[in-house]
Amino acid sequence: MNQNFKMTSLLTYTFKNLPSTSKWALRFCVRPLSSSSQLQAAADSQTKSKKTLAKPNIRNIVVVDGVRIPFLLSGTSYKDLMPHDLARAALLGLLHRTIVPKDVVDYIVFGTVIQEVKTSNVAREAALGAGFSDKTPAHTVTMACISSNQAMTTAVGLIASGQCDVVVAGGVELMSDVPIRHSRKMRKMMLDLNKAKTLAQRLSVISKFRLNFLSPELPAVSEFSTSETMGHSADRLAAAFAISREEQDEYALRSHSLAKRAQDEGLLSDIVPFKVPGRDTVTQDNGIRPSSLDQMAKLKPAFIKPYGTVTAANSSFLTDGASAVLIMAEEKALAMGYKPKAYLRDFMYVSQDPKDQLLLGPTYATPKVLEKAGLTMNDIDAFEFHEAFSGQILANLKAMDSDWFAQNYMGRKAKVGSPPLEKFNNWGGSLSLGHPFGATGCRLVMAAANRLRKEGGQYGLVAACAAGGQGHAMIVEAYPK
């Protein structure tokens, strides 16, 4: 399989890359003119043509395509792998899908949250393993659940500023294994032991050993600044917005049902199969489990006991997975003969109180990004919001629909309005498809792009919340057919 990839990429390299690798400077100068004319043409050809979001003097940036390996419940088929294995699989899948020559890629950025300490720059390890040129730099970013969004917007920045033409952005998370460390005291003793020269010194270091040194240190599950776990915060958020357990269960059921339908109808086309060494080839997500409201009602609250409303069934689950997208300057993509899937347009990062508004990022980011792009809620045809918890999604919908909240907490004159549910996460969301922290952002963008292509429509809005009280939103515009 690997051999095949190499063969094809070699071929495509010679075939596609020859005309475009040189004369970079020249192209840079003429680009604005050419791209805007192209765009004009593109917009004209659009049936449901709204205005264009192209900006003068800024390059148009496109997603050529994107893939993800199936998202699996952690502790299942990926459990013996390492994060860079998953990331490598996503990269190889992307290479296979787009047949992009490896050498064309100027840069690689990956997002991840829980870092494997052996591969702290997981982007680089995965890229090398996937056979990318060792001359292609790679870095890893982290911004909690919007890490791969950050990877993509980093790519956008690199391309827009003219630093690069072709960037691979992605994200990876492996929750089946997390770095559990020795305690600080134990670590200190071990380091001291390293420095001890003589036997006497060593013995004196060892003599300080106490049994409690052996208690391990787990990666934090709670917010560092507030010491509150996210589920706990979500439960409080749901309560603050007076969202009942039933509403949350219903929303979760909707997510699973829609995901199931999308899976059955083969709409989740961003998935690439992954042959796990020593196991069967994984071809689809395994966390989609439509249940019944009665079944869900039986679960006990997971965080605020005994009367909370957030349960295992209405929360996203721990997930292993990786995703990658190929991002290019539009003229580069066209020159290489690609038919891109979507433009990446305006984006926005926001942050707010990490205690009481931890998961309200989408509420803050949505109106801002719409304003920046000069759009309204009505212009959006596909909403793809990250579903951390049912309660979080419903709270965000309620907050966006509240004038009181907009005026008192967001400094706005009026509410932005809540997205219509018929356009909202129609192919499932993180609750059902899974949520590998570092990899979800690319999935959202690809879901928006693919939905726009499938359902027809021009604009998609991607939004997500993240630990630390941060949030992100981005406009994805369908590439004209």
Partner 1 sequence: MVASRAIGSLRRFTASRALRCSGYICRSFTRSSVLLTRTHINYGVKGDVAVIRINSPNSKVNTLSQELHSEFMEVMNEVWSSSQIRSAVLISTKPGCFIAGADLNMLNACTTSQEVTQISQEAQKMFEKLEKSTKPVVAAINGSCLGGGLELAISCQYRIATKDKKTVLGSPEVLLGILPGAGATQRLPKMVGIPAAFDMMLTGRGIRADRAKKMGLVDQLVEPLGPGVKPPEERTIDYLEEVAITFAKGLADKKITPKRDKGLVEKLTSYALSIPFVRQQIYKKVEEKVRKQTKGLYPAPLKIIDVVKTGIEQGSNAGYLSESQRFGELAMTKESKALMGLYRGQTQCKKNKFGAPQKEVKQLAVLGAGLMGAGIAQVSVDKGLQTILKDTTLPALGRGQQQVFKGLNDKVKKKTLTSFERDTMFSNLIGQLDYRGFEKADMVIEAVFEDLNLKHRVLKEVEAVIPDHCVFASNTSALPISEIATVSKRPEKVIGMHYFSPVDKMQLLEIITTEKTSKDTTASAVDVGLRQGKVIIVVKDGPGFYTTRCLAPMMSEVIRILQEGVGPKKLDSLTTSFGFPVGAATLVDEVGVDVAKHVAENLSKDFGERFAGGSLEMLRQMISKGFLGRKSGKGFYIYQEGVKNKNLNSDMDSILASLKMPSQPDVSSDEDIQYRLVTRFVNEAVLCLQEGVLATPTEGDIGAVFGLGFPPCLGGPFHFVDLYGAQKIVDRLRKYEAAYGKQFTPCQLLVDHANNPNKKFYQ
Active-site residue set: 145, 465
**Are the CB atoms for 341 and 447 separated by under 8 Å?**
no
Please state, in angstroms and rounded to a whole number, the distance separating the CA atoms of residues 285 and 275. 14
DSSP string, 83-96: HHHHHHHHHHHHHH
Q: Where are the alpha helices (DSSP H) in 136-286?
A: 147-160, 184-195, 199-206, 230-240, 245-264
Q: CB-hemisphere CA count at 13 Å for 159?
A: 33
Q: Cβ closer to partner 1: 114 or 240?
A: 240
Shortest separation between residue 400's beta carbon and partner 1, angstroms: 13
Distances in whole angstroms, Cα of residue 67 to Cα of each of 270, 318, 326, 429: 4, 20, 9, 16
Minimum Å gap between C-beta 238 and partner 1 is 9
* Cβ–Cβ < 8 Å for 341, 450: yes
Helix ranges (H only) for 401-439 are 403-409, 430-433
Residue 355 C-beta: closest distance to partner 1, Å: 7
Please, which residue, 227 or 284, has the CB nearer to partner 1? Answer: 227
CB of 179 to partner 1, least distance (A): 21
Least Å from the CB of residue 242 to partner 1: 5
**Nearer to partner 1 (CB atom), residue 216 or residue 307:** 307
Please state, in angstroms and rounded to a whole number, the distance separating the CA atoms of residues 357 and 344: 27
Task: Give whichever of 43 and 240 is closer to partner 1, judged by the CB atom.
Answer: 240
Whether the CB-CB separation of 151 and 170 falls below 8 Å is answered with yes
* Residue 151 vs 416, nearer CB to partner 1: 416
347 or 389: whose CB is closer to partner 1? Answer: 389
Element (H, E) at 477: strand 470-478
Give the whole-angstrom CA distance, residue 90 versus residue 321. Answer: 9
Distance of CA 421 to the CA centre of its chain: 22
Shortest Å, Cβ 235 to partner 1: 8
- Residues lying near partner 1 in the complex (CB under 8 A) are found at 224-227, 232, 235-237, 239-242, 304, 307, 353, 355-357, 395, 398-399, 402, 404-405, 408-409
